[in-house]
Structures are given as C-alpha cells and as structure tokens.
C-alpha cells in the first residue's frame, strides 16, 4: 500500500429534529415534541467538535454542511454559535462553502438574512414538488407557495447560491407533471437542482405501506430523460447522477464526498471519514444516533464515538461507491492518492467492466458510461470484496 495523501477536508453538522417525519425518509431524524432545546444540543456539538479537532490539526476545512432533520428549526443565533465554534477549533478556508438545509415550512420571514449574517452562504431548500396534492401524499408540511416565498427571501437576502431538492416518480406523477415541477423550480432561479427518484427505503412508512399509484419503471425513465433535457436547456449541467448545476455552482461539499475526500461528522448519528497519513489508515467514525443519548455522552467524547479503520480490501468499493456517480468521472490518479492502492489492484476488474460497456477510460479519467449509470448499483457491487457479479435486467438506478 502506497503512502496516503490527506485529501480535502469538510465538516458535516447534523441537526436531527423535524416537525414531522416524512413517510419516505430513512435519515436519522426525530419528530420534535415540545420546545426545541437548542442550548443543550449546541453544547454537545461544541464538545464533539472540540474533541475531534486534533485529528485534523493544521488542515483546512473547505466546506461545512448543516443537514438533518431540519437545521432551519434552529435560530440564526444558534447557527452563528455553532459556526463560531467551528472557527475556534478548526482552520476554515477563506472561501469556505457553508450550506444549511432548510424546509420552506419552518422559515420565518426575514430569517434568511439573519442566517446569512451568521455565516451561511449557501442554502439547500427542500421543495420536493410544486403540486399541493403530491406534497400532502409525501407528508410534507409546506405548500408550493411557501417554497416560492422562501426562494424570494433567499434572493432578497443575497443568498442567491441555493439548491432546490426535487423528487420524481411520485405517486400519480406522469411526465407532464414532473416537467411542471421542473419548470416551477427553474422559475425560482436556483443555481443548483437535486433531482431524486422516490425510493421505498427499508424501515420507512412507505416501505411498509407503499403508495398504490407509483409510476412504472418505464415511466420513471421517461420522466428522468425529459427532465434532464429541460434542465440542460435551462443551463443546468448534470455533474452527478442526481445533481445539476449552473456553471461554477456545483456543490463543493458533495464533490468532496464523491471524490473520497475527508469529513468530520459532528452531531447525533453523524458519520465521518478521516485519513491519517502518519499511520497510513483511513478511519470511519459514527456518533450515537439517538439525540438524548448523544447529548448525554458528549462530555465523554471522543470515547462515545465509534471508530473503525477501513480494511484495505474494502477500499476499492468505498472509493467507487460515490466516484462512479460523477457524470464526468474521476481522475485515475485520485484513486491511488486517496486509497493508497496502486491502479493495478483494480485494473483487471476495470478492464472487464470496460469490455462490458459499463466503464470507459477517457484520457486520465475513469468514466461511467450511459449504460453503466443505468446499471449503477450492480456496477458498484462488482467492486465488493466478495463479488456477486452483475445480475438483473437493464433498468434505471439513481439511488445508492
């Protein structure tokens, strides 16, 4: 194994509460009962962050992402406090990207200007759909008009670099309805759009009680193709399976994930990945999931955090898991730099996939072909230590 080189570093901060748990959601989130106790959770975040800071001493943080749950349930002063804690214990890049997820139904008028003053410079707004009936079916608490008002406030606050989350293949949705959602999104002038297919994740309400009127796989494929074409016409270039951006507005934080960068995971249930060149190891970290337990054990951090070194045999899959989602691929050299493995470790497997038309080498980059993107889950499984092979019929796969 070659000597590892420390990749770019990000920070993920998890805020685990929602007003209501959506029936499709498998994230580590909890319905808020009573008042939100900001102070105790912020104290725990601070202790957690401080305890992990020595692992990345001297390294610069290029991006911060506040996800959930619903971070916009927390006040601007709370967001400012946690960002100040980050500045105290970490070295932040002068142009650090600071993203906060927001639910249109939890934003009070004027708050976006305060979030910007607190240090937020990018927002991800959970629109999901602009059809009121569909939003109700998805268990969302906001209306289409609330999304429009939130976007107006983002522009007014100077937070013009924002993402809209949209879902497709929704209950009762056809191509025309999906294109209508895209048109509504484009009209709000975001710089980035995430376009995810609704999937029935294990353990969710929808998995136990699936909607009865979901589109067929063929219709979902037609929706994706039509929406992708319309987004391209509007100047949004697809750079990842589910991500489209205006020129220069790709999400820096997600690109770091997708190219096997490092990130500190801070907050209840947060996951992290840290490279230690001195010991030539890559370590995955996991925080206690349940918020009350996280707050209770935070004084003993980092003892409460689980650490696990990634076995060398798992590194090809770990790297490819996200890198192959990138439409323009990834530099072959990046694989060696960020896994410590020589290209020869996967050369034979890659060649087989090239012969099958699933991967291609374009100059210095490894690229997933159009067919490979359709077969993405199965393609990724071929890099597992125990290779189950590529099975099944061709079908669209946009979620891991």
> Which band of pLDDT confidence, cut at 50, 70 and 90, is reported for residue 301?
low
| Start-end of CATH 3.80.30.20 domains in the chain | 9-255
Segment 96-105 mean pLDDT: 95
Element (H, E) at 368: strand 365-368
Segment 127-154 mean pLDDT: 95
Beta bridge partners of 30: 17
DSSP 349: H
* Domain 9-255: CATH class, spelled out: alpha beta
Span 156-172, pLDDT tens digits: 999 999 999 999 999 99
pTM higher than 0.95 for the full model? Answer: no
Segment 250-274 mean pLDDT: 96
> Which band of pLDDT confidence, cut at 50, 70 and 90, is reported for residue 44?
very high
DSSP string, 33-60: -SS--HHHHHHHHHHHHHHHGGGGTTPE
Q: Which residue has the tokens 């927390």?
A: 74
pLDDT of residue 302: 62
Closest CA to 184 of 230, 247, 235: 230
The answer to whether residue 393 scores a pLDDT higher than 60 is: no
> Which band of pLDDT confidence, cut at 50, 70 and 90, is reported for residue 108?
confident
Segment 61-77 mean pLDDT: 95
Element (H, E) at 214: none
% of the chain at pLDDT higher than 90: 81
Instruction: Return all residues near 78 (Cβ < 8 A) that are at least 6 apart.
Output: 38, 42
The answer to whether residue 397 scores a pLDDT higher than 50 is: no
> Which band of pLDDT confidence, cut at 50, 70 and 90, is reported for residue 389?
very low
């Amino acid at each position: 194994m070659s000597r590892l080189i420390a990749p770019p570093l990000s920070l993920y901060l998890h805020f685990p509460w929602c007003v209501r748990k959506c029936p499709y959601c498998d994230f580590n989130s909890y319905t808020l009962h009573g008042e939100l106790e900001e102070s105790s959770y912020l104290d725990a975040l601070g202790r957690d962050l401080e305890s992990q800071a020595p692992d990345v001493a001297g390294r610069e943080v290029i991006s911060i992402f506040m996800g959930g749950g619903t971070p916009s349930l927390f006040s601007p002063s709370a967001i400012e406090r946690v960002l100040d804690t980050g500045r105290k214990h970490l070295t932040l890049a002068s142009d650090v990207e600071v993203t906060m997820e927001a639910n249109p139904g939890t934003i009070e008028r004027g708050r976006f200007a305060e979030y910007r003053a607190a240090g937020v410079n990018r927002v991800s707004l959970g629109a999901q759909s602009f059809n009121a009936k569909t939003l109700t079916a998805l268990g969302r608490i906001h209306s289409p008009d609330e999304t429009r008002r939130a976007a107006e406030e983002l522009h007014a606050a100077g937070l013009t670099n924002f993402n809209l989350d949209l879902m497709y293949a929704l209950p009762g949705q056809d191509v025309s309805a999906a294109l209508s959602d895209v048109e509504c999104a484009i009209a709000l002038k975001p710089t980035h759009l995430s376009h995810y297919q609704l999937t029935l994740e294990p353990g969710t309400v929808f998995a136990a009680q699936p909607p009865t009127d979901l589109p067929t796989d063929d219709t979902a494929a037609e929706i994706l193709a039509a929406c992708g074409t319309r987004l391209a016409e509007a100047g949004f270039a697809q750079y990842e399976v589910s991500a489209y951006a205006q020129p220069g507005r790709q999400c820096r934080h997600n690109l770091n994930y997708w190219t096997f960068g490092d990130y500190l995971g801070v907050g209840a249930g947060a996951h992290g990945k840290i490279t230690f060149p001195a010991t030539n190891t890559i370590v995955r970290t996991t925080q206690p999931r349940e918020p009350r337990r996280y707050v209770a054990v935070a004084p003993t951090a980092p003892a409460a955090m689980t650490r696990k070194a990634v076995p060398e045999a798992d590194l090809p899959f770990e790297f490819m898991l996200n890198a192959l989602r990138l439409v323009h691929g990834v530099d072959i050299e990046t694989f060696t730099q960020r896994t410590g493995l020589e290209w020869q470790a996967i050369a034979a497997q890659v060649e087989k996939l090239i012969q099958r038309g699933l991967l291609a080498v374009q100059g210095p980059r490894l690229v997933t072909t159009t067919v490979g993107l359709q077969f993405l889950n199965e393609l990724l499984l071929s890099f597992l230590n125990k290779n189950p092979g590529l099975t099944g019929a061709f079908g669209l796969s946009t979620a891991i």
